[in-house]
Structure formats: structure tokens, C-alpha cells
């Protein structure tokens, strides 16, 4: 037994990180469109609108909007069975709360799905991948229940329009990252308080649950998953205080998967809210919505593992353990961006989720950002990427073969080079396909196959046997 026969091998992107064409064909502004570029040492900056003289990576990106046919042909050449992409909500509802959808936006994705169908590539579509329409800000974005209705209208519109073309959907990208990055995940100010973050999470859970229900009603073939930002951490030591600190940290993350996979708030979260005075904006019928709208599968990103332990300097009381997530794992190498490389952690997380929920899993992001350059021979030697991916595929294989995890597929991140979400750089590259464009959007936009392109093609052709 190895990977299942119909395993969904492919790659993943997000609209705001690859499409460009940020105001083409009636598209409105999204949260991503007002984030300036940054780099490894300087964080991206959020502006009030589009300011003169600033560079906004999502405005150009790799211009996938105009190159999608060429890009999909390259994916097909690698043998992709699946392409994870996102629909940019602000192409469909430019302000987020418009009465009518924008036909030009809908027509664009029709073309993309038709192109994928030509090659038998199954789309896996994220409805909201760090690209909330900026228009939702006028009423407080996801802190306001109105956002639920806007999302549901959008979801219903695309489920109806693309019925028969798309069967696999994800609601919110890395929904748990709302706790760390409120702007990216929900269009809230980054200094949003815990009550606002909790309200936004509650509304996204409701929106996701309603979307699941509507997707099933529109087409019983639809499968809707959640998407967890693959945070996984080890206790710093076997000191029970380190283990407890790690448990508490992981509860903050698993709370998101618990609600979406089980259909209710877990007891540890409800107790924590009682202690901290956070309330839920519950309305009659909500419990039923969450229960009925449990996801069909759990997908997640996985790049690295963390180490968490007690904060030695702080006093830990029984109920409020002080957590330190800043420990360095001495057993692991790091990428050029300082992300610890831990394939065994992927097997661990797959087991943890499968034991916890017993529903199909999918790894929808994984990969290593590197500085790739075109060599004197015209080739791009990204052997380090091949090594990284090989080890992670081997870890998934063990989870499937030895542990019996039900794994649907694997879509490594940034299968074609694209803008980095955290830094806004182009030079942090993940792709099998190189794109000639720099951090300021200059270049020929020519696509080139890297060494990993042929390697991944062979991996897919042999269903993960020849690594
Ligand atoms: C995930 C996001 C992606 C992606 C990836 C890599 O958190 O879902 O959008 O960008 O991380 O991160 P980065 O681009 O910061 O290297």
C-alpha cells in the first residue's frame, strides 16, 4: 500500500500572490492590495488605500491573470491532478457587499476552470485566501455579522456558477492565523483586541458552516474543507510545566480545527473565555448552523515545527501558564528564512489530526522558500528544494502506509514562483517554475522550468514511488 490511486498530486497558489491585474475587469480593492512590499527584515506595511510611489506586490505579482493558460499548460506537463487556487472575492463582489456579482470576474474564473478541465486537472478552490474585500472594513469587517451574509452570498454565487466545474472547496485559508495576523486573515487591524479577534473567528466559523451546507445543497458532489495554518509544536522538555505550556499553546490553535471538524466550541475554549471575560455573539440557531456545517475534510499547510515551553522568568499560575514559543530546536536545520525543516513533524501532525477527527486530510501547502537564480548554463538548480520535498513526501508516505492516515492529496506551495505572503518579496521563491520578475515587479515575466520541475513530474508519474 502506498499513496492511493486517485491521490491528488498538484500545486497551490493564491490569487493575490500570483494574479496581479489588481483593478482589471471591475475588480475592487482587497486587503492584500494595500499592503506594501517588505523584505526579510522589514515587515510589510498596511496603508489606508493605494498610495502614490509605493510598491504593492499584489498589483502585478506574476501576472498569472494574463498568463494562466501558459501556467496551466506547464502544470499539466508536470502531470498535476489538482490545482489549488483561490478566487479573489473582490473580483466577484468588488466591494464585498454589492447586490450583484461582477460578470467579468465570474467569466474569468470560468475560463480558468475550463482550461484546467482541458487537461483533466481538478480545481481545489479557496474562497478566502488573505484577500478580504476592503469594502468590508466600512462596517468592521469580520467583527460584524454582516460579513457572514456577504460571504454566504459570494459562496452561493460561485457554487452555483461553477457547479460541475469545481467539486473541492476550502473556506478560509489558515483560519487559525487570525489569532496572529488579523489583517491578513480577516481584514482587522493588526492590534485588534481579543474580543474582536474572537468575534471575527466566530463569524468566520458561521460563514464557513453555512457555506458547507449550501455547497452540499447545490451539488451533493461538493466537498468542502477547512484550512489550518500548520502550526505544530513540541514541548521544550519533559518538564511537565513545559508540556503544559505546549498543550496550552496548541489548544489555542486546535480550537479552530475542533470547532470546524466537530461542530461546536470545545470545553477548554469556553472555560478560557469565561476566565478572560470574552463573550460570543451568539444568536438563536447558531449552534445548529455550526453542527450541520462541519467540514468534509481537513486541509493544512505545513512548513516547519516550533518548540514551546514555560516562560522561565514569569510566574505560572495554575490557570494562566506563561508560554514561550521562541525556543530553537537544536536538532533541526533551517531554511534561508530561518524556518526549521522538520519532515517528521509532518507525519506527527497528520497522525494527530487523523486520530483527533477521523476525517480525510490533505496537505495543501508545503515547501521551501529559497533564493533561486538562473545559472550561467541557463538552468535553475534548486536541488535543496527537491531534498526538502522528497523528505516531506516520505513522511506523508509513512503516515499513509504505516499509520493508515486517510490522505487525499498534496499540493506544494507556490508551484510557480509568486509573491511571499509574509514579506511581499518575489525573491523568496517556492516554485517548480521560475518567473523572471523581481521585488519591484520588473522583469520579462518569462517562465522557466527549474530542476525540481522534472523531478516532480517523475514523482507524480510514479505516484510517489520514484523520489
Ligand atoms: C502560508 C500562506 C501562503 C504562503 C505560505 C508561505 O502561510 O497560506 O499564502 O505565502 O504561507 O509563506 P511566505 O509566502 O511568507 O513564505
Cα of 422 vs centre of ligand 1, distance in Å, is 6
Report the candidate in 129, 220, 88, 114 with the shortest Cα–Cα distance to residue 167.
Answer: 220
For the question of whether the overall pTM of this predicted structure is more than 0.95, the answer is yes
Q: How far apart are CA 366 and CA 302, in angstroms?
A: 5
If you search the block for the grid coordinates 502550526, which residue do you land on? Answer: 231
Mean pLDDT of all residues in 191-212: 98
Q: Which residues pair with 324 in a beta bridge?
A: 309
CA dihedral 74, 76, 81, 82 (to 10 degrees): 40
For residue 429, give the 3-state DSSP assignment: strand
Name the residue among 79, 175, 187, 204 with its Cα closest to residue 133.
Answer: 187
Show the cell assigned to 434: 521560475
Ligand 1 center to 369 CA (angstroms): 9
Rounded to the nearest 5°, which phi and psi values hold at 327?
A: -70, 145
Protein residue with its CA nearest to atom 16 in ligand 1: 420
Cα(465) to centroid(ligand 1), Å: 28
Q: Which residues of 42-74 are buried (b: 16+ CB within 10 A; e: fewer)?
A: eebeeeeeeeeeeebbbbbbbbbbebbeebbeb
DSSP 3-state of 226: strand
State percent of the chain over pLDDT 70.
Answer: 98
Assign 169 to helix, strand or coil. strand
Cell numbers standing for residue 389: 520535498
Residues 306-330 have pLDDT tens digits of 999 998 754 445 455 678 988 999 9
CA of 303 to the centre of ligand 1 (A): 9
Which of 128, 259, 277, 153 lies closest to 206 in space, CA to CA? 259
Give domain 8-461's CATH architecture: Alpha-Beta Barrel (3.20)
* Residue nearest (by alpha carbon) to ligand 1 atom 14: 420
Angle of helix 383-401 relative to helix 343-357, nearest 10 degrees, comes to 30
Q: How far is CA 459 from CA 6, 14, 139, 381, 399, in A?
A: 14, 24, 48, 18, 18
Q: Give the three-class secondary structure for 418.
A: coil
pLDDT at 395: 98
Domain ranges of the chain: 8-461
Per residue in 41-97, pLDDT (tens digit) is 888 999 989 999 999 999 999 999 999 999 999 999 999 999 999 999 999 999 999
**Bridge partner residues of 128 (DSSP):** 172
Which stretch of DSSP H or E encloses residue 91? helix 89-92
Q: Which three cell numbers stand for residue 84?
A: 489549488
- Angle, alpha carbons 26-28-32 (nearest 5°): 135
Instruction: Encode pLDDT of 423-465 as tens digits.
Output: 999 999 999 999 999 999 999 999 999 999 999 999 999 999 9
Q: Whose CA is nearest to atom 2 of ligand 1?
A: 421
Calpha distance 273→281 (Å, rounded): 12
Give the pLDDT confidence score for residue 321 in this predicted structure: 67
Quote the percentage of the chain above a pLDDT of 90.
Answer: 94
Ramachandran region, residue 408 (left: φ > 0; alpha: ψ -120 to 50; beta: rest) = alpha
CA distance 200 to 83: 29
Main-chain phi, psi angles of 290, to 5 degrees: -65, -40
Dist. CA 195–CA 320, nearest whole Å:
18
The secondary element (H helix, E strand) that includes residue 275 is helix 267-276
Quote the CA–CA distance of 110 and 221 in Å, as a whole number.
19
Of 143, 121, 225, 245, which Cα lies nearest the Cα of 187? 143
Mean residue pLDDT across the chain: 96
Predicted confidence (pLDDT) per residue in 103-147, tens digit: 999 999 999 999 999 999 999 999 999 999 999 999 999 999 999
Burial class (CB within 10 angstroms; exposed 0-12, middle 13-18, buried 19+) of 373: exposed
Phi, psi of 135 (to 5 degrees): -60, -25
**Residue of 115, 122, 174, 425 marked catalytic:** 174
**How much is the pLDDT for 1?**
62
**Closest of 423, 393, 434 to residue 410, by C-alpha:** 393
Query: Which residues form ligand 1's pocket by a CB distance below 6 Å?
Result: 14, 17, 130, 173-174, 229, 301, 365, 369, 413, 420-423, 428
ipTM, 2 dp: 0.98
Q: Residues in the chain, how many?
A: 467
- What is the grid cell recorded at 339? 524556518
Cell of 273: 473565555
In ligand 1, which atom is closest to the CA atom of 422?
15
Q: Residue 363's beta-bridge partner residues?
A: 300, 410
Q: What angle do CA 90, 95, 97 make, to 5 degrees?
A: 110
For the segment 275-297, the average pLDDT, to the nearest whole number, is 98
Amino acid at each position: 500500500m502506498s499513496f492511493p490511486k486517485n491521490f491528488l498530486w498538484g500545486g497551490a497558489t493564491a490569487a493575490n500572490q500570483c494574479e496581479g491585474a489588481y483593478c482589471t475587469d471591475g475588480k475592487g480593492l482587497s486587503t492584500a492590495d494595500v499592503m506594501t512590499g517588505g523584505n526579510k527584515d522589514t515587515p510589510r506595511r498596511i496603508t489606508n488605500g493605494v498610495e502614490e510611489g509605493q510598491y504593492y506586490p499584489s498589483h502585478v505579482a506574476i501576472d498569472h491573470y494574463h498568463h494562466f493558460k501558459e501556467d496551466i499548460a506547464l502544470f499539466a506537463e508536470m502531470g498535476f491532478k489538482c490545482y489549488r487556487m483561490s478566487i479573489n472575492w473582490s473580483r466577484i463582489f468588488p466591494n464585498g457587499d454589492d447586490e450583484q456579482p461582477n460578470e467579468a470576474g465570474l467569466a474569468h474564473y470560468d475560463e480558468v476552470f475550463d482550461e484546467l478541465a482541458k487537461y483533466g486537472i481538478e480545481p481545489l478552490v479557496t474562497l478566502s485566501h488573505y484577500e478580504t474585500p476592503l469594502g468590508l472594513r466600512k462596517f468592521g469587517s469580520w467583527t460584524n455579522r454582516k460579513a457572514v451574509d456577504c460571504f454566504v452570498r459570494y459562496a452561493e454565487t460561485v457554487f452555483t456558477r461553477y457547479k460541475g466545474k469545481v467539486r473541492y472547496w476550502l473556506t478560509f485559508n489558515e483560519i487559525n492565523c487570525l489569532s496572529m495576523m488579523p489583517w491578513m486573515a480577516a481584514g482587522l487591524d493588526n492590534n485588534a483586541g481579543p474580543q474582536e479577534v474572537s468575534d471575527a473567528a466566530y463569524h468566520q466559523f458561521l460563514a464557513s458552516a453555512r457555506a458547507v451546507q449550501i455547497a452540499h445543497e447545490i451539488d451533493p458532489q461538493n466537498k468542502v474543507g477547512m484550512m489550518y495554518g500548520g502550526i505544530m509544536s513540541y514541548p521544550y522538555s519533559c518538564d511537565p510545566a513545559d508540556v503544559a505550556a505546549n498543550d496550552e499553546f496548541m489548544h489555542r490553535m486546535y480550537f479552530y480545527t475542533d470547532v470546524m471538524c466537530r461542530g461546536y466550541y470545545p470545553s477548554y475554549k469556553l472555560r478560557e473565555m469565561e476566565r478572560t471575560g470574552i463573550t460570543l455573539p451568539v444568536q438563536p440557531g447558531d449552534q445548529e448552523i455550526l453542527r450541520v456545517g462541519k467540514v468534509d475534510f481537513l486541509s493544512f499547510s505545513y512548513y516547519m515545527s516550533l518548540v514551546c515551553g514555560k516562560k522561565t522568568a514569569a510566574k505560572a499560575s495554575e490557570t494562566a501558564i506563561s508560554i514561550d514559543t521562541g525556543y530553537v530546536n537544536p536538532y533541526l536545520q533551517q531554511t534561508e528564512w530561518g524556518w526549521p525543516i522538520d519532515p517528521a513533524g509532518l507525519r506527527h501532525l497528520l497522525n494527530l489530526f487523523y486520530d483527533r477527527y477521523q476525517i480525510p486530510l490533505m496537505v495543501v501547502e508545503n515547501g521551501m522558500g529559497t533564493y533561486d537564480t538562473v545559472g550561467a548554463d541557463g538552468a535553475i538548480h534548486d536541488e535543496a528544494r527537491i531534498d526538502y520535498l522528497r523528505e516531506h513526501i516520505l513522511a506523508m508516505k509513512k503516515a499513509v502506509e504505516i499509520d493508515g492516515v486517510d490522505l487525499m492529496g498534496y499540493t506544494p506551495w507556490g508551484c510557480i514562483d509568486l509573491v511571499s505572503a509574509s514579506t511581499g518579496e518575489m525573491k523568496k521563491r517556492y516554485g517548480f517554475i521560475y518567473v523572471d520578475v523581481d521585488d519591484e515587479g520588473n522583469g520579462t515575466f518569462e517562465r522557466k522550468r527549474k530542476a525540481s520541475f522534472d523531478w516532480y513530474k517523475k514523482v507524480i508519474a510514479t505516484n510517489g514511488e520514484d523520489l
